Amino acid sequence: MKKIRKIGILTGGGDCPGLNAVIRAVVHTACRAGIAVVGIRDGYAGLIHKDVRPLALPEVSGILPLGGTILGTSNRDNPFQYAEPGAGGKVEHRDVSAQALKTIEYNEIDVLVTVGGDGTQIIANTFFEKHKLPVVGVPKTIDNDLNGTDVTFGFDTALNVATTAVDKLHSTAEAHHRVMVLEVMGRYAGWIALDAGLAGGGDVILVPEIPYRIEKVCDHIRDRAARGKRFSLVVVAEGAKPEGGQMVVARKVNDASDPIRLGGIAALVANQVEDLTGIESRYTILGHVQRGGSPTPYDRILASRFGYHAVEAAMAGKFGHLVGLRGNEIRTTPIQEAVAVPRRVKAGDDKVLVAKAVGTCFGS
Ligand code: F6P
């Protein structure tokens, strides 16, 4: 096996707390093994535009507790379908992967470590399969919807933010005898809503995987009122939808891999609840607050473990694999297998059953 002399690392897709902890662990681990590291800026955009810089110990000093990513990130620059302005102002997609590979060659990168969610890993795997590029994936997303790992770093931080929000809404809901609807992130997977709802004692949890009926939600809120509970807390994932209905789309853009911007389900639910029950209702959209700021200790540790093991996997020649947590051990899984199906909430999941057992309604 060819000796590894240089690792390239990029962070792709939406950012999440813990990315810097991964970068730091990769640089430290590689340094000890005599391997140089270069950072590619703004995800795959840096490969396309030759934006690469050396990363040594001084560059990663002090970054462990920082949110965001010192490398920058992007969720629009797929080298296999790169969006460029075409004739008549129309966006055209081109394959610029050869350009990206030239950057790898020019910088003498032996292994590319791709830190990202499913979009980033699908691109990494295409490079691996089509061009035999040695890649090692590190899973990240606050949505926690990647297979190949029990949990992604970033999720715990987002969950803490969301649970704090539920707790804060609890006291004001109770004081004013209102229904408070909290919209959290999660386009196709409702893990943040489910876990924050469970941790914060949400009375209603609405997730994309379990379509709801607003009548059921209102019945539950009325039942609570009849029992003297004159307030209710609803935690709704941005991608939740009513039975037979659609997700609430805030706007569509044409230069991103996922052109849909979600947002607004909380307003819809709050207004419907107020109209149908007569109980005053308010809504809060948590948005990107969930993605920003310093990672929790759990995320710092998990991200550091992933970074260390990504370098170990590279040295062991485990290319085309993703590091992940299984139980309390770090294992690798072929990226292909990890991205084949997303990890979604199931109606029979233990957490759903527990939430129901403690009186939470899923609107179904
Ligand atoms: O994929 C993670 C995620 O947090 C989704 O839950 C959310 O819909 C999306 O990112 C928002 O992305 P952007 O920053 O592009 O608006």
Backbone torsions φ then ψ of 38, nearest 5 degrees? -125, 145
In a domain, 333, yes or no: no
Residues 142 and 12 in one domain: yes
Radius of gyration of the chain (CA): 22
Is there a contact between 28 and 310 (Cβ–Cβ < 8 Å)?
no
Is 143 designated active site?
Answer: yes
pLDDT more than 70, % of the chain: 100
Residues 108 and 22 in one domain: yes
For ligand 1, mutation pick of 11, 15, 143 (most atoms within 8 Å of CB)? 143
The model's pLDDT over 298-342, given as tens digits with 9 standing for 90+, comes to: 999 999 999 999 999 999 999 999 999 999 999 999 999 999 999
Q: How far is the CA of 85 from the centre of ligand 1 (A)?
A: 24
Residues 177 and 113 in one domain: no
* Nearest atom, ligand 1, residue 186 CA: 6
Residues 100 and 28 in one domain: yes
What pLDDT sits at residue 123?
Answer: 98
pTM: 0.96
Residues 69 and 104 in one domain: yes
Residues 308 and 274 in one domain: no
Helices and strands in the chain, H and E counts: 12, 15
Residues 242 and 273 in one domain: yes
Q: How confident is the model at residue 85 (pLDDT cuts 50, 70, 90)?
A: confident
Q: How confident is the model at residue 47 (pLDDT cuts 50, 70, 90)?
A: very high
pLDDT more than 90, % of the chain: 93
CATH of the domain at 176: 3.40.50.460
- 275, with CB counted inside 10 A (0-12, 13-18, 19+), is exposed
The model's pLDDT over 291-300, given as tens digits with 9 standing for 90+, comes to: 999 999 999 9
Task: Find tokens 């609807």 and name the residue.
Answer: 181
Q: How far is the CA of 219 from the centre of ligand 1 (A)?
A: 32
Backbone torsions φ then ψ of 269, nearest 5 degrees? -65, -45
The model's pLDDT over 204-252, given as tens digits with 9 standing for 90+, comes to: 999 999 999 999 999 999 999 999 999 999 999 999 999 999 999 999 9
pLDDT reading at 255 higher than 70: no
Choose the catalytic residue: 15, 42, 77, 143: 143
* Nearest atom, ligand 1, residue 258 CA: 15
In a domain, 339, yes or no: no
What pLDDT sits at residue 84?
Answer: 87
Residues 35 and 96 in one domain: yes
Where does ligand 1 bind, in terms of residues with CB under 6 Å? 14, 75, 117, 141-143, 185-187, 238, 262, 291
Give the chain's largest Cα–Cα span.
Answer: 71
Residues 170 and 280 in one domain: yes
Mean of the per-residue pLDDT values for the chain? 96
Is there a contact between 147 and 122 (Cβ–Cβ < 8 Å)?
no
Residues 136 and 263 in one domain: no
Q: What percent of the residues of the chain are helix, what percent strand, and what percent coil, each to the nearest 5?
A: 40, 20, 40
**H or E, element range at 252:** strand 249-252
CATH of the domain at 130: 3.40.50.450
Residues 172 and 309 in one domain: no
Residues 71 and 95 in one domain: yes
In a domain, 316, yes or no: yes
In a domain, 334, yes or no: no
- For the chain, the domain total comes to 2
Domain of 284?
158-291+346-357
The model's pLDDT over 165-201, given as tens digits with 9 standing for 90+, comes to: 999 999 999 999 999 999 999 999 999 999 999 999 9
In a domain, 1, yes or no: no
In a domain, 363, yes or no: no
Q: What contacts 243, CB < 8 A, 6 or more positions away?
A: 211, 212, 213, 364
